[in-house]
Homo-oligomer: A and B are copies of this chain.
């Protein structure tokens, strides 16, 4: 059990040294040498005494002091659109775990997908002297990433990608293709897409993957069949309303690039007396824990969110080590349920 007490003074290197009749530098050297041999840090006997006392006193080095000396804070900054989005919260769980395993701590802040806020929070993180950034809210049309790059700030994107910068994401193009294959195979020929926010690669890639495959299969997909929307339930509902309003082209299936939008769309269908799964198929994306539990269970593309988060940390640590990295796209799988059975 550690003895750190914000209320009281924590044990320092000097405390240990005094008690052992050694110089603090010797204690420090021992505590940094390999656990096995003292490797030139001190005699085996001394090393053992030092380690022993450090343990019983519950010594843990002051990270602020260490940072000041080593110029490394072991702090990572994480920026997400919003943590109340299940997808980002889950990716963050992966980030937190992987960071902790590597002895890093993480700050996380919400940008609400607002570009001013993104900049502000980024500066707060940098003012805290984080070693690097994990950015989960990248906008395709923003110059922020290029600026950070110019300032030599180490960062990795997660969740959304932007060409030219390293990222760990779901293979969203593939995800869209899986949905196209599935709906085509189920016999649907007139479909509509609820596309999400056009500034997010997740939305754009899922839509283009779907569209590309759909057309490869011989399907028709006019521009007007894709409605861009917010990622939440309200956005999905409004988009579905818009799609239903066009009576000349009533689709038999809806692909929403996000489960929440899909749930909103289901609400709109219900309001129009359309039975999900019977009158109209619906497929979502991310397979959030609710999808399987909905009154009419929702087909959804499952993305490996935890693993995406963990990968982002791994990649950032490599960047901090001065290594070259390449972007990662993890493959999703389709879970078919009642909504499109």
Distance A237 CA – B292 CA, assembled complex (angstroms): 12
**A273 in the interface, Cβ–Cβ < 8 Å?**
no
Q: Which of A87-95, A168-176, A247-255 contacts B (4 or more CB under 8 A)?
A: A87-95
Min distance, Cβ A336 to any Cβ of chain B, angstroms? 18
Q: Which of A107-115, A210-218, A324-332 contacts B (4 or more CB under 8 A)?
A: A107-115
Residues of chain A from 1 to 16 with CB closer than 8 A to chain B in the complex: 1-2, 4-8, 10
**A63 in the interface, Cβ–Cβ < 8 Å?**
yes
Distance A294 CA – B260 CA, assembled complex (angstroms): 11
Once the chains bind, are B93 and A89 in contact (CB under 8 Å)? no
Once the chains bind, are A123 and B64 in contact (CB under 8 Å)? no
Residues of chain A from 33 to 73 with CB closer than 8 A to chain B in the complex: 60, 62-65, 67-68, 73
Q: Which of A19-27, A184-192, A219-227, A264-272 contacts B (4 or more CB under 8 A)?
A: A264-272
Once the chains bind, are A295 and B295 in contact (CB under 8 Å)? yes
Q: Which of A125-133, A134-142, A159-167, A199-207 contacts B (4 or more CB under 8 A)?
A: A125-133
**Also in contact, A152 and B8, with CB within 8 A (given A84-B86, A290-B263):** yes
Query: Contacting A105 at CB < 8 Å: which of B84, B89, B107?
Result: B107
Give a binary string over A147-166; 1 marks a CB under 8 Å from any B CB, 0 the rest.
00001111000000000000
Distance A239 CA – B10 CA, assembled complex (angstroms): 48
**A178 in the interface, Cβ–Cβ < 8 Å?**
no
**A82 in the interface, Cβ–Cβ < 8 Å?**
yes
**Also in contact, A83 and B73, with CB within 8 A (given A7-B154, A127-B63, A153-B7):** no
Nearest CB to that of A288 among chain B residues? B84
**A102 in the interface, Cβ–Cβ < 8 Å?**
no
Residues of chain A from 267 to 308 with CB closer than 8 A to chain B in the complex: 267, 270, 276, 289-290, 293-296
**A232 in the interface, Cβ–Cβ < 8 Å?**
yes
Number of this chain's copies in the assembly equals: 2
Distance A285 CA – B295 CA, assembled complex (angstroms): 18
Distance A45 CA – B96 CA, assembled complex (angstroms): 48
**Also in contact, A64 and B129, with CB within 8 A (given A92-B83, A106-B107):** yes
Nearest CB to that of A320 among chain B residues? B6
Distance A4 CA – B1 CA, assembled complex (angstroms): 37
**A146 in the interface, Cβ–Cβ < 8 Å?**
no
Distance A266 CA – B296 CA, assembled complex (angstroms): 11
Once the chains bind, are B4 and A129 in contact (CB under 8 Å)? yes
**A100 in the interface, Cβ–Cβ < 8 Å?**
yes
A296: chain B residues at CB < 8 Å are 295
A234: chain B residues at CB < 8 Å are 293
A-B interface, 4 closest residue pairs, ranked by CB to CB distance from nearest = A7-B152, A233-B293, A84-B89, A4-B126
Listed A/B pairs (27) with beta-carbon separation below 8 Å: A1-B123, A2-B123, A2-B127, A4-B123, A5-B151, A6-B129, A8-B152, A64-B65, A64-B67, A64-B68, A65-B68, A83-B93, A85-B89, A89-B89, A96-B108, A96-B109, A96-B110, A100-B109, A105-B107, A105-B128, A232-B289, A233-B293, A234-B293, A260-B290, A264-B293, A266-B295, A290-B290
